[in-house]
A and B are shown apart, each in its own frame.
Chain A
């Protein structure tokens, strides 16, 4: 019975491999045009309603609307263990052409912090869709008009100011700010999601946050919160509106900080070249749609589409930054 099954399975595998080979090998008009034959699993390392989930569902709906893929993409939520479940799940899917994943910086933070056997190098990098800024926000009714005023107050009262953030990821940002400015210590309060963090700032349950623009933009427009500084080397000059008026941390504090949230797409480990090309092309098309461009502008995302070697070098740099900050502040799990 068991051998029957395995024989059957192996025969199926042979047939599939033969099919794949014939498709790959067959000289067609546009060479190397691999296309998914099954629905594609789009793994989200967060629960329904998180930032990554909303973005993933948004991408899927753009793909559906413009009919960009012959087979649908299906969002699969794997929220467990701060994304650890999703990372390991995707890692298991060796050479599966029908599994891709969207990930923010937990790609670096979670493995370092929990010690799970995973590195982003295990997966196949596809492309970077956007980079999200981090902004230092305070409540609009607070007396602090500049980042300097606020951080001076924090310096005067160590652990006396509450910094709200999403789980461990924003803790990295908080530590980065602390070490770059020097001589100050926040009382860091972790929450489960970025939207919740900003609402807690509006309700004055925390004194400041390092929210992404998308999480706070509506409250800013309504005059409830005030941005003090962008944690980047340049101002957000690429978008319309008031974003470009927010100073950088260098201008406001003389502290050279650059920390960005990657919104990256990865494929299963060892994905074939033509498969990677399909997904790269797909994401490029998505990126060019008016809906996605509007989303970028509305949320002040850095929207350059990056792929290939440039993407890998960005990942490398981000990886090094995380190892450095997290080691310094004792956030790396000892093995």
Chain B
């Protein structure tokens, strides 16, 4: 039952996990703690599964970690392969989550120790690695990607400065003081931006008539997925390690996508409906979603907003999260872990049987579907902080998204900068306060040093490759000439 609720909630963008769990939490107070947490974690899984649906069908990410799924998921749906895309997404989520649960089962206490080793310098190094892995994601034009990322950073800086507590870039208005909600921006950029483009193209929703809706497709997709086991493994692994920290799932999905693209046999397919482009971010996001629960249980700090709401629930059930939870309430902890396994299995069965149903949504004529999507977008923008201003922001971002698409600027770098910019900045400045201004802090700590080197290497790789190609062709390494459209 939890999963059914959860999927419904996950489908509505913006309403998402935290609010869904918060809404349903009161139901659990009459239950035993163990059955209550099972119920809640089922909602959690449901929401995780549900997030992918709108990303693929309408290009509206239901959750911030579903953004990377839209890159390939939506093009696939447009090509009439919505069923295949959904099956891939659900299966990847399932595999990612299952692998993360398995890792938790065996290494929980060890992993808690590792989590405390990550201070601000390490967090900054990880953010940098994420950026490095995604660099060049925008396609051919590096300058357009850079411009897009810089706009994202600029937008992320709006609001309150955590280090000094000052307002920045608010132009004296309070409405800007709270900054831009990420999900609001994303719904606008992708959802509304996409609709504006389609409207201009003459009210056609490409591939509608060809959306196939057979259950048999699930099995044929599975056969194809077997060939991509490396992507599954890699996505789950990245996700699991990234999930410890707040915002981890989103960063993980981008990072996995970036790596999948880099190591793909045919990278030019990525972004146009490649199956790896769905596997990587989905398995990473769900693996991260699972590991986000771990710091909540063993350290008392939630790795995600949804975990935070569950944390509130733990208190009313009389449980004190922290390092001793595993020894004091083993039946609770193992009950939760068992529910992660079973919840996942039930969840994937439910969502997979619904694949034809979801895919059939695309058969609705565009003239009816569009207003519906707009309504979903508005609800999604309004819900997180019950604010009408956010709806206007969302529409504004929609227009920005439209302009970006028209001018062929990539959206991904901007979105990534918007979601990670704030966190990266905070970690950078905290680190520099700690070291009192010395950049050496990033390199003389073993964990952050290693990650930093990896990140810098990743930044340099494409540049080196480009130079070598130029030399090989005998042409001088001049400034990169942007390819015309």
Contact = CB atoms under 8 A, between A and B. Distances in A.
A91 to B, nearest CB: 11
Q: Is the interface of A mostly helix, strand, loop or mixed?
A: helix
A78 B390 CA distance: 12
B220 interface: no
Interface string A189-216: 1111101101110111110000000010
Contacts of A221: 322-324
B47 to A, nearest CB: 14
A203 B116 contact: yes
Interface in B146-190: 159-160, 162-163, 165-167, 174, 177-179
Contacts of B321: 218
Contact of B323 (A50, A79, A218): A218
Nearest to B18: A48
- Interface size class on chain A is 35 or more
A198 B301 CA distance: 9
A168 B166 CA distance: 10
A227 interface: no
Contact of A49 (B116, B309, B434): B309
Interface stretch (B117-125, B127-135, B263-271, B275-283): B117-125
Contacts of A246: none
Interface residues of B, number: 51
B315 A295 contact: yes
A78 B165 CA distance: 16
B323 A199 contact: no
Contact of B118 (A85, A203, A294): A203
A81 B168 CA distance: 10
A159 B436 CA distance: 9
Given A75-B22, A205-B434, A222-B322, A84 B116 contact: no
A218 B18 contact: no
B26 A190 contact: no
A224 B316 contact: no
B203 interface: no
B251 interface: no
Contacts of A48: 18, 22, 305, 308-309
Interface of A: 47-50, 53-54, 57-58, 60-62, 64-65, 75-82, 84-85, 88, 110, 113-114, 116, 159, 162, 167-168, 187-193, 195-196, 198-200, 202-206, 215, 217-219, 221-222, 224, 291, 294-295, 298
Q: Which 3 A-B pairs have the closest CB atoms?
A: A80-B178, A218-B322, A49-B308
13 contacts: A61-B313, A76-B386, A80-B159, A84-B160, A85-B174, A162-B434, A189-B120, A199-B295, A202-B116, A203-B119, A218-B321, A221-B323, A291-B316
Given A187-B436, A219-B300, A291-B316, 13 more contacts: A48-B18, A53-B312, A57-B309, A58-B316, A80-B177, A188-B433, A203-B116, A205-B120, A205-B434, A206-B434, A218-B323, A221-B322, A291-B318
Interface of B: 18, 22, 25-26, 29-30, 115-120, 159-160, 162-163, 165-167, 174, 177-179, 295, 299-302, 305, 307-309, 311-313, 315-316, 318, 320-325, 385-386, 426, 430, 433-434, 436
